[in-house]
Amino acid sequence: MNPRESARAPLVLPGIQGRTALVTGGSRGIGRAAAVWLARAGAHVGIGYRADSEAASRALSEIRQVTSDREPWAESADLATEEGVSVLFARVDREFNGKLDILVANAGIWNAAPRPLVDMESDEWRAMLDANLTSVYLTTRSAARRMEEGGRIILVSSTAAQRGEAGHSHYAASKGAVQSLVKSVAVELGGQGITVNAVAPGWVDTDMTAVVLRGAERDRVQREIPLGRIASPADVAGPIIFLASDLARHMTGEVLNVNGGSVLCG
């Protein structure tokens, strides 16, 4: 089996076949990879995206290549707003009959250019927290209201939440808050049989990080990763799918580090 065929082969993980799944930020990068892997495992997948309809169309085409009986869908929405989340979940209700089994809350932003805290304007701070934290709160709340026992919520955090990131304090703060949210909501929803976990990627080769990782800094970044390479989106999608499956049914409130060991280095 060549790599292209392998990427399209069905995945056999208990507890995903026939389930409904929503992936935010699903048109590119980690979200796109997670959506494809969920479809390979037999889920009926919808994706949320902000504005790039061409990227969303490409993601849907890739999902269709791995599933034949469940038509994927995409909805454009600004998840940092109540209105945008209402639009997305109105589509969830239409497509999934008001029930959601799996949420992957991946939508978020990161600015490549460093911005020291002393130079940061208040609107920059608010924009980052709205995109990375308020959106997760609103999306998780709406998803939880539609979940029953066996529901899975997976939030995408970052290694920056644990080690900080100089020049990107607003980003690190937003992702640290996501990890605290995971632990709180895991306790709140545990009695309903719903698990809430997170993955914390390090550097991942995506469009969002291209300015750094496809330039002169790539070699330096790789040298700081014990495994010696930068993650692909699929490297993060694997742990996400694990958390969405019944293999992780007794895990909740956890944060899985997916960073090649970089958090272990100074």
pLDDT of residue 48: 98
| Candidates 49, 89, 171, 203; catalytic one | 171
6 pLDDT tier (thresholds 50, 70, 90): low
5 pLDDT tier (thresholds 50, 70, 90): very low
50-82 tens-digit pLDDT:
999 999 999 999 999 998 778 999 999 999 999
pLDDT of residue 264: 77
pLDDT of residue 11: 82
The torsion angles phi and psi of 49, rounded to 5 degrees, stand at: -145, 160
262 pLDDT tier (thresholds 50, 70, 90): confident
Residue 171 is among the residues annotated as catalytic for this protein: yes
CB 260 within 8 Å of CB 224:
no
Identify the residue with better confidence: 8 or 73: 73
* pLDDT of 3 above 50: no
196-237 tens-digit pLDDT:
999 999 878 877 766 666 767 787 878 888 888 888 999 999
140-176 tens-digit pLDDT:
999 999 999 999 999 999 887 787 777 678 889 999 9
9-60 tens-digit pLDDT:
778 899 999 999 999 999 999 999 999 999 999 999 999 999 999 999 999 9
Tell which residue, 240, 178, 206, has the closest CA to residue 59: 206
pLDDT of residue 217: 78
Dihedral, 132, 133, 136, 142 alpha carbons, nearest 10 = -140
pLDDT of residue 12: 82
2 pLDDT tier (thresholds 50, 70, 90): very low
pLDDT of residue 1: 33
pLDDT of residue 159: 86
- Global pTM? 0.92
